[in-house]
Amino acid sequence: MTDTLPRPGTKPARPHFSSGPCAKPPGWAPERLATGSLGRSHRSKLGKARLEHAINLTREILGVPDTHRIGIVPASDTGAVEMVLWSMLGARPATMVAWESFGEGWVTDVVKQLKLDAKVVKAPYGELPDMAALDQDSDIVFTWNGTTSGVRVRDGDWIRDDRKGLTIADSTSAVFAMDMPWDKLDVVTFSWQKVMGGEGAHGVLILGPRAVERLESYTPAWPLPKIFRMTKGGKLIEGIFKGETINTPSMLAVEDYIFALEWAKEIGGLDALKARSQANAKALEAIVEKADWLDHLAADPAIRSNTSVCLKFADHAVEGLDDEAKLALVKKIASLLEAEHAAYDIAGYRDAPPGLRIWCGATVDTKDIEALGPWLDWAWQQARAA
């Protein structure tokens, strides 16, 4: 055991490293939100205008082409994905791709709930399946960035232009931090409580022309709940993509999202958001390189996330410890850091291998990642000595 490390003298100014809901944008304060739409109907002229403004800003910042529709939908990213699975799958064979817990969840929904005979392609935590080998005559459902594994798809070069199936990408911890190849993706889903630090409960659904064609030409064999229905009389309900939400949204949450979008636009748009996230991930990588007790869960840097960075204990540092003992260490480290107000919510996801998960998205300041490093070392030593 090395000499006892002193308690670091500098703390992160904003110790919010949760992977969702994530840190608010710098400078955020509740009194800075627009409040004119609060207490008003979401179907009023003002309410619909604010919802449409959120959609238009999303399109502008992400560079979503005019060929794609953007809608605000219920129940966070989960709701957006479920709408797609229940409304579009079944027309063609399906391929479900999973390398972490959320992808596994979509496998369960499709195979056990919809009872489709889908092909399931998996990889262990920290790894990525061979995406180029997937059957593109089938509908492919995958996560662009595995929030609980820290593994992302590198790019969309593997997606063919002549594919017959749909590409359906759960991208909730990727959008606003990574390049999304809109011409390659037929469906993209996310929730604004990830990279933009918004409030939960609302999802965003982006549909390309091929997805709209599927909706208008295919009727599933199973009944659809009201909140999943995107067509009427065989035609897309266009209002969903113009601010006429399926159910009542929180206008406070909408205004919070608009604040984040306007902040993003002010600092330079998507390029600035990506640069902030990449700088955060690089700062954390430097910390991991210096810490002899810590490693990345994703060994290959080419597929390593720059938002939800997942870490594990170095093998030699926990030699002889089983998973239960490693989990106890994780809990101790997270508890120590929270008590010191040095880092909140950095324990790894419950289904992932024991380790830490540190959000490096654009709303986090790089100086706070840098200030976190000494605290990680201090907490590790404290936990091991306990």
Cα pseudo-dihedral 124, 126, 130, 136, rounded to 10: 80
Cα–Cα distances (Å) from 56 to 40, 61, 64, 70, in that order, read 21, 9, 10, 9
Read off the pLDDT band of 1 (50, 70, 90): very low
Q: How far apart are CA 274 and CA 276, in angstroms?
A: 5
pTM of the predicted protein model: 0.97
User: pLDDT, tens digit, for every residue of 45-59?
Assistant: 999 999 999 999 999
Say which amino acid occupies 108.
T
**Mean pLDDT of the 158-170 span:** 98
Q: What pLDDT, on the 0 to 100 scale, is given for residue 217?
A: 98
Question: Same CATH topology for 30-265 and 269-385?
Answer: no
Number of residues assigned to the chain: 386
User: pLDDT, tens digit, for every residue of 236-255?
Assistant: 999 999 999 999 999 999 99
CATH of domain 269-385: 3.90.1150.10
Question: Helix, strand or coil for residue 186?
Answer: coil
- Would you call 83 exposed, middle or buried from its count of C-beta atoms within 10 A (0-12, 13-18, 19+)? buried
Is the pLDDT score of 142 beyond 90?
yes
C-alpha atoms less than 13 angstroms from C-alpha of 239 in its C-beta half-sphere: 10
Question: Helix, strand or coil for residue 375?
Answer: helix
**Mean pLDDT of the 164-169 span:** 98
Read off the pLDDT band of 2 (50, 70, 90): low
Enclosing H/E stretch for 339: helix 323-339
Is the pLDDT score of 3 beyond 90?
no
Q: How far apart are CA 19 and CA 307, in angstroms?
A: 8
Is the pLDDT score of 293 beyond 80?
yes
User: pLDDT, tens digit, for every residue of 321-366?
Assistant: 999 999 999 999 999 999 999 999 999 999 999 999 999 999 999 9
Domains of the chain by residue range: 30-265, 269-385
- CATH 3.40.640.10 is held by the domain 30-265: yes
**Which two tokens mark 358?**
């540190």
Q: What pLDDT, on the 0 to 100 scale, is given for residue 386?
A: 83
Read off the pLDDT band of 9 (50, 70, 90): very high
